[in-house]
């Protein structure tokens, strides 16, 4: 509030008119953004409505009319309605009052009660149905929805910030502009009463501050960019579908936000006690340094990490624990923190680096390899997110101080800086406190005020492991953790350990999301991988280049990551199918996994034998692994028992990947399917993806898509020889340059 003394110094006359004019322009810009955004949202809702109505109608068609009695506690008499042929809730819901009244024996009260009960059921169904977009079967209605969503997705996360800014300006300027108007003329101000005069001067002073602050923050440009993004002409059908395939998760995130689809709130909050949930909801989450929108449960997870300070985030694999951790780091960066540390297995370090750089404005600093000490020193000096591995952490200088002593500065002392948060990925790696890696983690957790452990392994099944993890974080909670809580069920266990543990399952929170979750697992070649790869490149052997990452199974970075994915799937009771183009790669996979596997299914296996392998895999109780050559297992077999698919290498023909994934992601699949593609940086994998993800190539594939094309991969794929020759030549030039250097 501006006091009267300050108000007397407010601009009057010409200066006030200039301030009001600038305020009016800002107000008009804010209103324009809000109106354009509303129109964009309405376009999505209009496209969504017929798809959702159809799903609701189908569901109501399957519900017998007798269910209307349940909604009225048995008071409704339906014999006459059923006799008239209205045997489902849908038939009653669509009949209307007039048609029902025409049925002999149905009075006004019965008709009204039946319609009210049908409407109640329809609303309940509408909250549960989920519209899914099938990229392989585009039709006019889903195309309209994808095109409408494209405008919002293309605008990016900056649009949400612009809309929030516009809403704040709209509320403030709506009051300030009329109140300041008397100050725009000296005569008008003189004729105003004392109270109106003081209010006008105060409003003008506040308006001047608001306009100046907006200019300093670049708000006019932000609003102009948002309007430009929202007013772009609609994308072509092909452009929208191609973009959807490249970033479908962002489309579904927008769809969930626009449709306001409600998941089970208690499940989305991990069945936390109400007092903990309230504290989490009260925690703000600044998105200034974040480049990705969060789904509701992900926002809650990031807030939980911030509000509870030292916790385990144990979401089931595929729910985006990394994104939630990055959101928490981005918030702390906006609050002034400059240094963060992420510790992970070596197999996911490159993924963390890529995710931080693509999903935030934070600076990622890999601290590994021969130059790790220099990188660590640079991080201590300049800040950012340092990324290192469990096995290298002990080689870095130990942190100073304790968590209690560091709270005054916000974290661990690092040459005068502070470590704002320690993130430990795959935290079950430190379940044995006697190991060197565990001791290193313990030293850092004692020194850091904020610590976030990530693990996809359900702690309910490993209570003693969980006690170990909690000892690092909240030791006072350990005596409260009893085996009996886990025996009583997962919900009871989670409530008992709520201050330190949050876990959500896919089936609870992914009802509005795609049934297909794709993750690229980037790895760096091991020394053995690199030697095999260089030899293959020198020989110009494209196929050997593609499988060089598996040349030495005991030292293969890809196989190490595959083992971790399989282990996590096993912990969650999920079935896995592993695809590769190469038989020898599947043999290496089979050799590396510490468990019995089904298969491999290959071209030399008779069809009847293939089906028996699939049947045995499907009938296996709980977790199981099936190995399949992608050209043999990717066609003609139904693998919907699998909810995790691992692709050992990218395919030259994208349709091979699509067909293979479709074996699991199909009718009858009751869980979201996770697809993990194993990729090596600075290799044939990266070059191949650059070619295959080129939008011109995808445009061509979509434009020529037909039943024939779907049935024949060659119909939409450019020459294998062309791709191979191009990549071999590129890699020979690159490695020759590196060798010369």
pLDDT digits (tens, 9 = 90+) for 380-418: 999 999 999 999 999 998 776 544 444 434 444 555 567
Q: Rounded CA gap, 189 and 10, in Å?
A: 12
pLDDT attached to residue 737:
61
Q: Where in the chain is the domain with CATH 3.40.50.300?
A: 516-740
Give the largest CA-CA distance in the chain.
98
DSSP strand pairing (417-424 vs 364-366)? unpaired
Strands (E), 235-373: 310-313, 339-344, 364-366
- Which CA distances in Å does 694 have to 404, 419, 699, 714? 52, 40, 9, 18
pLDDT attached to residue 160:
86
Nearest by Cα to 542 from 728, 735, 729:
728
Q: Where in the chain is the domain with CATH 3.40.50.10810?
A: 263-509
* pLDDT tens readout for residues 449-506: 999 999 987 776 677 888 889 899 998 888 777 655 445 456 667 777 888 899 988 7
In DSSP notation, 78-128 reads -HHHHHTT--BHHHHHHHHHHHHHTSTT--HHHHHHHHHHHHHHHHHHHHH
pTM: 0.70
pLDDT attached to residue 439:
93
pLDDT attached to residue 138:
82
Strands (E), 200-321: 310-313
pLDDT attached to residue 406:
44
Q: 641, 590 in Cβ contact below 8 A?
A: no
Residue with tokens 């601290």: 367
Sheet with 644-647: strands ordered across:
516-523, 673-680, 644-647, 576-580, 625-629, 598-601
Determine the 3-state secondary structure of 253 from DSSP.
helix
Q: Residue 503: which residues within 8 A CB-CB, separation 6 or more?
A: 270, 313, 314, 315, 316, 458, 459, 460, 490, 494
pLDDT under 50 in the chain at which residues?
Answer: 1-8, 402-412, 485-486, 488, 667, 695-697, 699-718
Q: For 621, which DSSP code?
A: S
- Read off the tokens for 552: 């030495």
Q: Rounded CA gap, 152 and 257, in Å?
A: 11
Q: 671, 506 in Cβ contact below 8 A?
A: yes
pLDDT attached to residue 719:
56
In DSSP notation, 384-430 reads EEEEEEHHHHTTSPPPBS-HHHHTTTTSEEETTEEEEEEEESSGGGG
pLDDT attached to residue 140:
92
| Other C-beta atoms lying within 10 Å of the C-beta of residue 345 | 16
Tell me the CATH number of domain 516-740, given options 3.40.50.150, 3.30.565.10, 3.40.50.300, 3.40.50.2000: 3.40.50.300
First CA to last CA distance, the chain: 64
pLDDT attached to residue 708:
36
Q: Residue 392: which residues within 8 A CB-CB, separation 6 or more?
A: 367, 368, 372
Measured over the CA atoms of residue 393, residue 397, residue 400 and residue 406, the dihedral's sign is negative
**Residues β-bridged to residue 384:** 339
Q: Rounded CA gap, 225 and 234, in Å?
A: 17
- Which CA distances in Å does 651 have to 302, 499, 543, 546? 36, 45, 11, 9
518 sits in which H/E element = strand 516-523
Tell me the CATH number of domain 263-509, given options 3.40.50.300, 1.10.357.10, 3.40.50.10810, 3.20.20.70: 3.40.50.10810
Angle at 664 between CA 661 and CA 670, to 5 degrees: 135
pLDDT attached to residue 188:
61
């Amino acid at each position: 509030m501006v006091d009267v003394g300050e108000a007397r110094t407010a601009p009057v006359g010409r200066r006030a008119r200039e301030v009001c004019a600038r305020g009016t322009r800002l107000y008009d810009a804010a209103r324009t953004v809000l109106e354009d955004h509303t129109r964009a949202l309405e376009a999505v809702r209009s496209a969504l409505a017929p798809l959702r109505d159809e799903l609701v109608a189908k569901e109501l068609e399957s519900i017998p009319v007798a269910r209307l009695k349940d909604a009225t506690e048995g008071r409704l008499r339906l014999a006459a309605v059923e006799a008239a042929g209205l045997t489902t809730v849908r038939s009653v819901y669509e009949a209307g009052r007039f048609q029902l009244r025409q049925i002999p024996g149905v009075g006004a009260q019965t008709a009204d009660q039946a319609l009210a009960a049908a409407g109640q059921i329809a609303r309940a169904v509408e909250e549960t149905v989920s519209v899914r977009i099938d990229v392989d079967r585009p039709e006019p209605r889903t195309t309209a929805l994808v095109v409408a969503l494209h405008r919002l997705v293309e605008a990016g996360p900056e649009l949400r910030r612009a809309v929030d800014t516009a809403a704040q300006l709209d509320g403030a300027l709506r009051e300030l502009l009329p109140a300041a108007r008397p100050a725009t003329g000296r005569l008008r101000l003189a004729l105003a009463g004392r109270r109106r005069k003081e209010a006008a001067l105060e409003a003008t002073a506040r308006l001047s501050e608001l306009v100046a602050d907006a200019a300093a923050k670049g708000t006019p440009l932000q609003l102009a960019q948002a309007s430009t993004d929202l007013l772009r002409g609609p994308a072509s059908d092909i452009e929208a579908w191609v973009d959807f395939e490249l970033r479908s998760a962002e489309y579904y995130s927008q769809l969930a936000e626009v449709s306001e689809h409600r998941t089970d709130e208690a499940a989305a909050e991990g069945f936390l006690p109400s007092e903990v949930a309230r504290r989490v909801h009260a925690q703000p989450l600044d998105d200034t340094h974040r480049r990705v929108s969060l789904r509701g449960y992900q926002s809650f997870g990031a807030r939980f990490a911030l509000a509870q300070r030292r916790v385990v985030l144990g979401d089931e694999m595929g729910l985006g624990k990394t994104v939630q951790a990055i959101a928490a780091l981005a918030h702390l960066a906006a609050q002034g923190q400059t240094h963060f540390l992420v510790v992970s297995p070596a197999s996911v370090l490159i993924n963390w680096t890529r995710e931080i750089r693509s999903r935030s404005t934070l600076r990622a600093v890999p601290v590994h390899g021969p130059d790790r000490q220099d990188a660590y020193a640079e991080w201590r000096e300049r800040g950012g997110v340092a990324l290192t591995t469990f096995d290298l952490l002990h080689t870095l200088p130990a942190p100073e101080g304790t968590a209690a002593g560091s709270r005054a500065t916000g974290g661990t002392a690092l040459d005068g800086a502070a470590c704002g948060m320690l993130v430990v990925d795959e935290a079950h790696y430190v379940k044995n406190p006697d190991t060197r890696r565990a001791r290193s983690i313990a030293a850092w957790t004692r020194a850091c005020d904020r610590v976030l452990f990530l693990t996809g392994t359900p702690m309910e099944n490993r209570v003693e492991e969980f006690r170990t993890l909690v000892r690092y974080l909240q030791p006072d909670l350990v005596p409260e953790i009893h085996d009996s809580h886990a025996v009583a069920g997962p919900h009871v266990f989670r409530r008992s350990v709520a201050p330190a543990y949050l876990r959500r399952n896919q089936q609870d929170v992914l009802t509005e999301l795609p049934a297909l979750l794709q993750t690229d697992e980037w790895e760096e070649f091991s020394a053995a991988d690199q030697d095999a790869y260089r030899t293959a490149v020198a020989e110009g052997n494209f196929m050997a280049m593609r499988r060089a990452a598996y040349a030495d199974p005991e030292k293969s970075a890809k196989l190490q990551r595959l083992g971790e994915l399989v282990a996590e799937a096993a912990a969650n009771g999920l079935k896995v199918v592993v695809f590769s183009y190469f038989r020898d790669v599947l043999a290496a996979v089979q050799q590396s996994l510490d468990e019995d596997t089904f298969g491999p299914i290959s071209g030399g296996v008779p069809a009847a034998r293939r089906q028996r392998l699939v049947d045995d895999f499907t009938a296996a109780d709980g977790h199981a692994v099936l190995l399949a050559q992608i050209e043999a297992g990717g066609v003609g077999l139904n693998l919907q028992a699998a909810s995790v698919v691992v692709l050992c290498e990218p395919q030259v023909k994208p349709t091979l990947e699509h067909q293979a994934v479709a074996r699991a992601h199909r009718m009858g699949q009751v869980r979201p399917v996770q697809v993990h593609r194993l990729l090596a940086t600075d290799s044939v994998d990266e070059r191949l993806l650059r070619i295959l993800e080129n939008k011109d190539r995808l445009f061509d594939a979509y434009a020529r898509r037909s039943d024939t094309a779907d049935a024949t991969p060659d119909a939409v794929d450019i020459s294998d020889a062309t791709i191979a020759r191009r990549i071999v030549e590129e890699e020979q030039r690159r490695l020759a340059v590196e060798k010369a250097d």
